[in-house]
Amino acid sequence: MPHRYFTTEIGGGRAALTGPDAHHLADVMRGRVGDTVILCDANAVEYTGTVTAITSGRVEFTVTEGYPSAAEPTVQVTLYAGYPKQGKLEEIVRHSVELGVHRVVPFFSRYCVAAPKKEEAKQQRYNRIAAEAAKQCGRGILPQVALPLPDFAAVCRELAGYDLALFFYECGGVPLRSLLPGNPACPPRNIALITGSEGGFSPEEAAAAAAAGAKTVGLGPRILRCETAPLAVLSAVMTLTGNLE
């Protein structure tokens, strides 16, 4: 399978890579004129690129006409993940990108064990992890990891912008299957998934989510770890919307 790279320098039948990606193709992969790769414009459009020139820090291509990425889901899912301790967020970011997430938004809440620390530097690392995962699994976009929201109230203020917001509560709720795929004539396209940190959610936060329009959803009789729940619910949503077929 050809290697995959993202670039904004693409158009008019030509494209270019610069920086670390050019180094990777030219020096690590030992690319040569005539080699082919997949180039993505980060807007779910892909191109087959043929190397035409390799210079220091730059690789140039001719490209075919763009075609839609087959890897992008029909739903745009934002994962709001309660900030976990240690390095668990890296795992959540990496695997959620593989499963088709559009954006990851960490947040702090009442029972979070973790505390804010050097979040700007961490965000850069999380976005590098997301980009690596997107290339590895064949995505047509670069999913973004946002800076963490300071509290659960900030999460609730964002929920009005979604067709469907799902709040996954350790104390139970309606089955996910009852909410998806929903009305076949008007399926939700823009979905928010909200999962908690190690400490879960307070009753007041659960009430605030419901007041903000989120549907409270249960995940069965087992309590899932904070790094397991996001991947379980994302897998379930992708399955119920036909995006794991």
Q: Give tens-digit pLDDT for 217-228.
A: 999 888 899 999
CA distance 211 to 132: 37
pLDDT tens-place string over residues 80-101 = 999 999 889 999 999 999 999 9
Percent of the chain with pLDDT over 90: 86
Tell me the CATH number of domain 76-240, given options 3.40.1280.10, 3.40.190.10, 3.50.40.10, 1.20.58.1030: 3.40.1280.10
Cβ-proximal residues to 83 (8 Å cutoff; 6+ apart), any chain? 89, 106, 107, 108, 109, 112, 114, 148, 197
Residue 185's pLDDT band (cuts 50, 70, 90): low
Fold match between 4-68 and 76-240? Answer: no
The pair of three-digit structure tokens given for residue 209, joined into one six-digit string:
């989510």
Q: What is the mean pLDDT of residues 155-170?
A: 96
pLDDT at 87: 85
List the domain boundaries for the chain: 4-68, 76-240
The pTM assigned to this predicted structure is: 0.91
CATH fold of the domain at 4-68 = Ribosomal Protein L25; Chain P (2.40.240)
Cβ-proximal residues to 132 (8 Å cutoff; 6+ apart), any chain? 94
CA distance 155 to 241: 24
pLDDT at 182: 59
